[in-house]
Structure 1
Amino acid sequence: MKKIYILGAFACLFAACKPSVNITVPSTAGDAVFTNYLAIGNSLTAGYADGSLYVTGQLNSYPQRLFEQFSMIKDRGARGPFYQPLLNGDMGFGPGSTGTGNNRPRKVIGYTFNCLGDTSIGPVDLPYYSADADDAKAYTSPNRQVNNIGVPGIRVSDYLVSFYASLNPYAGRFYYSASETPLDELLFRVNNLHPTFFTMWLGSNDVLGYALAGGQGDGSGNAGPGAFGLYNSADITPTSVFKMNYDTAVAVASSVGAKGALINIPDITSIPFFTTIPSNGLYIPRQSLADSLTQFYRSLNYVFSLGYNQFIIRDNVGALRQSVPGELILITTPHDSLTCAGWGSFKAIPEQYVITTDELQNIRNATTRYNEIIRSAAERNLLAYVDMFSYMSTLQSGIVYHGVNYNASFISGGAFSLDAVHLTPRGYAIVANKIISTINEKYHSTVTPVDVNKFHGVLFP
């Protein structure tokens, strides 16, 4: 089975403006027809959260929120039911997990203990229970209908890979045929549902896998495919492959005359997975320790001082050096190694836990190229273009919905779930509102925004 990176990634979502959410304006369809809605995407579309896929997360996906708002429209509004490939419980599902089979326990807030014996609360895996093994059962629905075909781990580069359902167990739960490509599945769903409106949020995974792996791939976007036609999930998809597959997917999705919205890729390096541990997170509480480190690195002329200092890292060419401002330390860096094993001080943080300046530029260049392809596809096909990149990058200091503050901080910000990549129900509701505002502008509709505060952020025991 191929290694699957669960992506879908987000930029600094929440910020400085304070949108006014008027939930009393009558909903109208405008130039759109929302009767049959199809959602196409990856883990974010599926409702993935807290490091796993589970039914409560699925029921709080942004497509679910959109369907509910589309359903409020009397004339040409969505008509149900809205079928999602729901799991049977909240234990969690996914590959490479603990337990048995494809049971992937989701993360919850619990007690953690570090190498010093200190106790705190933070993300821990939900204990595995064999009674929850049924979570992994294949999904079936009346007439085999599925309105949400979001697949965790899927990349645009995967869309012409045969036997994809055999390679990705998330797809295997509901794909019509084990031998088909994701493009075949999309064509089947379009012909089965005859959507009048669709959303497509693809592309984050084509660059985020490289980032989650600490930039271990080639990074140039020129690497070729491997076995089964799969491109390295820890590398950047070639632009030509992205364009061919993305344009084809849009053509299929709109082939029965559906209107829709294409959503671009945010700045993935702004999510808590990359921003929670700062590059200057080496805290030195005593002058004697600062002097010891300065002496230890005297041949490199590094000087350490009281307070916060740049970490010592191993970079992408194997060199030992101090990090520079702007470089990123992954949240998966073992915290006990930082605390008790001298990582980042007397020992370098290994390169797989670091995004260097060069790797950061590779990520930004690829994102820019992909977003231009998405924008051009929207313009060419007369579809709404949801500029999530600009929306999220201009919002830096948090947003307020009906008196409640949201920001991109890990756990406390209310928007990101416990895996530091995917969203909470409130975060998905905020995303739904951005999509709704763009749809309203493009199609002269007045779809009612979601009341974000009805939904929860991170749950504490």
Structure 2
Amino acid sequence: MNNELPEIKEPEEAEKVALQVTNLDFSKYIAVGGSFTAGFTDGALFIKGQENSFPNILAGKFAMANGGAFNQPLMLDNIGGLINGSDILNEPRFYFDGEAPTRLDKTPTTQVGVIAQGANDFHNYGIPGSKSFHLLAPGYGNPAGLVTNPVTANPYFVRMGPTATFSVIDEAVAKLPTFFTLSEVGGNDVLAYAIAGGAGEDQTGNPDVTTYGENDITDPDTFAQTYSLIVNALTAGGAKGVLTTIPYITSLPYFTSIPYNPLPLDAAKAEAANQGFADYNAGIKAA
């Protein structure tokens, strides 16, 4: 009987595939955009969501070629949300409790107006809630703008500690990017209207964004001009980049869960319905 085992050969080392960057320079990658770029997840911004933001994932891949550091203005917890003193300004994230999405029953620890660790060396300029024209607004990161009426600053941009008079694009360009992503810009120009249940105005034909309400829909021509200015600014120094579009807004749940005008009502039926719900509506208002 032969008890000798056959010789076990060492597996051949797989041939490594050389990375081809085709004249792309990822050494200073800057991401610009809104909530998706920031890593906004489950209705809030929190550390794990930021770590899983698509720019952070891309930066990890870029590092395999010639990519450099990629720093983000991390929140202080995985609760999400913001507090102003002891008051909750932005609510904690959602989680699924087995029956439905539910807000986490915890208090956020990230204070509004407190600069995030690592300020002046951030690479992710994803600003939750920002509309297209906000990215060009001077002072959008000035803490003083958080207490004006109307509010002229964004608390997430304030956390990044920008120059008080700079816009988001000013800050991004000042970092001298060699490569950039510009993602989902324009989504909030329509989404805010939907989230508010249509409680806003369609500003088509009005280029004066200073007259817009928080939930208004941006004039299409104004958006086009704004987008061009943003792209021109980001590419002025020779940087290359990727522009991404936004999902079909009308496919989002805000537009599909409850169809617009689902009941065919003429004027007479609408009046009858209003009268029928008069007592109910009065009770709601009184409460």
Normalised by the length of structure 2, the TM-score is: 0.74
Structure 1 runs (4+) greater than 6 angstroms displaced? none
Distance in structure 2 (CA, Å) of the matches to 1:318 and 1:91 = 50
Deviations 1:115-146 (A, max 9, x none): xxxxxx111111123xx42465421316x111
Which residue number in structure 2 is paired with residue 35 of structure 1?
A: 27
- SS of residue paired to 1:260: strand
Is the partner of 1:90 in helix, strand or coil? coil
Map 1:308-319 to 2 at 5 A. Answer: 311-312=262-263
Aligned partner (choices 153, 162, 165) of residue 129 of structure 2: 153
Identity of aligned residues (%): 32
Q: Secondary structure at the match of 1:199?
A: strand
Aligned counterpart, 1:176: 162
Contact conserved, 2:136 with 2:169, CA < 8 A, in 1? no
Shift in alpha-carbon separation, 1:103–1:218, aligned structure 2, 3 A? closer
Structure 1: unaligned runs, 5 residues or longer:
1-23, 112-120, 281-309, 322-342, 351-461
Structure 2: distance between partners of 1:39 and 1:196: 11
1:55 Cα deviation (Å)?
1.0
Structure number with higher relative contact order (C-alpha < 8 Å, ≥ 6 residues apart): 1
Q: C-alpha separation between the residues in 2 aligned to 1:271 and 1:27?
A: 37
Distance 1:45 1:153, change over 3 A: same
Partner of 1:211: 194
Instruction: Assess if the C-alpha contact under 8 Å between 2:131 and 2:188 holds in 1.
Output: yes
User: What amino acid does structure 1 have at the position aligned with 2:218?
Assistant: T
Q: Which amino acid aligns with 1:50?
A: D
Q: CA RMSD in A?
A: 3.4
* Partner AA of 1:67 in structure 2: A
Q: Which amino acid aligns with 1:128?
A: K
Q: Aligned partners of 2:265, 2:227: CA distance in 1, in Å?
A: 36
List aligned pairs for 1:358-437, cutoff 5 A. none
Counterpart for residue 179 of structure 2: 197
Equivalenced residues, count: 249
Q: CA deviation at 1:262?
A: 1.0
Rounded to whole Å, the distance in 1 between the matches of 2:164 and 2:265 is 42
Shift of the alpha carbon at 1:199?
A: 0.5
Structure 2, unpaired ranges of 5+: 1-15, 146-152, 282-287
Amino acid at match of 2:78: D
Mark the structure with the bigger radius of gyration: 2
The change in CA–CA distance for 1:313 and 1:251 in structure 2 (over 3 A counts) is: same
Q: CA-to-partner distance for each residue in 1:299-338, whole Å, 9 max, x for gaps?
A: xxxxxxxxxxx954889x99849xxxxxxxxxxxxxxxxx
Shift of 1:36: 1.2
Equivalent residue, structure 2, for 1:268: 249
Are the counterparts in 2 of residues 156 and 246 from structure 1 also a CA contact under 8 Å?
Answer: yes
**Change in CA separation of 1:243 and 1:103 when aligned onto 2, cut-off 3 Å:** closer
Question: 1:64: how far off?
Answer: 0.6
Structure 2 residue corresponding to 1:186, chosen from 165, 169, 177? 169
Determine the C-alpha separation between the residues in 2 that align with 1:320 and 1:109.
Answer: 38
Partner of 2:229: 248
Q: What does residue range 63-74 of structure 1 map to in structure 2 within 5 Å?
A: 63-73=55-65
Partners in 2 of 1:71 and 1:43 — Cα distance? 24
Identify the match of residue 78 of structure 1 among 48, 52, 67.
67
Q: Can you list the C-alpha shifts for 1:387-429, whole angstroms capped at 9, x where unaligned? A: xxxxxxxxxxxxxxxxxxxxxxxxxxxxxxxxxxxxxxxxxxx
CA shift for structure 1 position 164: 1.7
1:358-401 deviation line (CA, Å, top 9, x unaligned): xxxxxxxxxxxxxxxxxxxxxxxxxxxxxxxxxxxxxxxxxxxx
CA shift for structure 1 position 175: 4.0
Amino acid at match of 1:43: S
